[in-house]
Amino acid sequence: MLKRCCRPLLLALCLGATAGPLMAQDKITLKLATFLPPTHYGVTEGSDVFIKDVEELTDGAVDIEFYPAEQAGKARQLIELVKFGAVDIAEIGTGYVSSGELPLLGVLEVPGLVDSVCAGTRASRAIGDPGGPLYENDLKPAGLRVISYYVYSPYGPAASRRKIESVDDLQGLKMRNAGGLMELTVGKVGGVPMKLTSPEVTQSLQRGTLDAVMMSFAAVESYGYDEYAHYGATGYSMGTPGVFAMMSESRYQSLPEDVRAALDEAGKRAEENFCAFSEKDEARAIKDLQSSGRMEIYTWSDEDVATLDTTLASISEDWTAQLDARGKPATETLNMFKQALEAPADTADTQQ
């Protein structure tokens, strides 16, 4: 059961009461849930940093109870758990909700768009914070607010039995992807989209029932897929996944102002730490996988990139047209996202 049911202060918060400055209050405990295992770099470089900074910024007056590895609920259940108050903060994989309740999150999955993790992080905050089109049209109606935007390295193919040296080499590959627009991307390049869990991927690569995975090379290395996937290609984003830490708007607003400010600041610090780590770690993973002989990773040529741009152009066009027709401003969201991607870091920050 939630601790707030047992503490007078938290009951008062639920009823909208305020109790003065943070330092004058009893300790507040917030539950944070993620589907990621505690050893995953999304936790060590993101969640753990957030937890430490929240406690530091509040002088220990706010305590985070952490539930990794689906201890609080399955990955696809987390959005409902946070909306209904079973947890206070949930790290939600964007691919799990971009085809349903939060369709504007699909902007992350547009191919050929995000090539820098940190730029993608800033762009996500530009559209997702209050006033941005993602917040106003998806998050706010759903009663949600993002605290941290953890954007991952761009996805590319890692294949088991076929060397990749051109776009044509993707033809016919049975390829695991993150869903949403990435599923359409696999189909457009001639691959066969497959939906599998991480344990199923290892087994399927081993058996040869799966030819490739679509993910970052840091993730390929982390999951040990390089034991079976010996070929890959980099230099073009086939889509970018995100894991966004969300609160219900009602729970966020129930907290004292200084607690909200601490959560906001800790969220920004954690995502900045994560993006800086991710950019370096992806480059390191590609170098290590190649130098060790575990993988041959091809860098897409300018001709390949032009071919991919042409082949995949209809994905964003169809996505924006379909959502615009439903009253979801996908064109506005995509344009703002692109502008934020191109803005210098200090400029993007001042626009938020």
Q: Is 29 helix (H, G, I), strand (E, B) or coil?
A: strand
How many angstroms separate the Cα of 126 from the Cα of each of 11, 87, 129, 299?
34, 26, 6, 30
pLDDT of residue 345: 82
User: What single string gives the DSSP state of each residue in 211-250?
Assistant: -EEEE-HHHHHHHTGGGT--EEEESS-S---EEEEEEEHH
CATH of domain 3-151+240-280: 3.40.190.170
pLDDT one-digit tens code per residue, 241-288: 999 999 999 999 999 999 999 999 999 999 999 999 999 999 999 999
Closest CA relative to residue 84, chosen from 243, 245, 246, 248: 248
Q: Give this prediction's pTM.
A: 0.89
Whether the per-residue pLDDT at 198 is higher than 90: the answer is no
Higher pLDDT among residues 70 and 5, named by residue:
70
User: What single string gives the DSSP state of each residue in 164-203?
Assistant: --SGGGGTT-EEE--STHHHHHHHHTT-EEE---HHHHHH
18: Cα within 13 Å, side-chain hemisphere:
10
Whether the per-residue pLDDT at 8 is higher than 80: the answer is no
Contact, 22 vs 259, CB < 8 A? yes
| Residue ranges per structural domain of the chain | 3-151+240-280
Which residue type sits at 253? Q
Q: Of all helices (H) and strands (E), which one includes residue 20?
A: none
Contact, 226 vs 220, CB < 8 A? yes
From the centroid of its chain, how far is CA 296?
A: 27
pLDDT of residue 168: 97
Give me the mean pLDDT over the 85-93 stretch.
Answer: 97
pLDDT of residue 25: 56
pLDDT one-digit tens code per residue, 138-155: 999 999 999 999 999 999
Q: Of all helices (H) and strands (E), which one includes residue 161?
A: none
Closest CA relative to residue 341, chosen from 128, 115, 181: 115
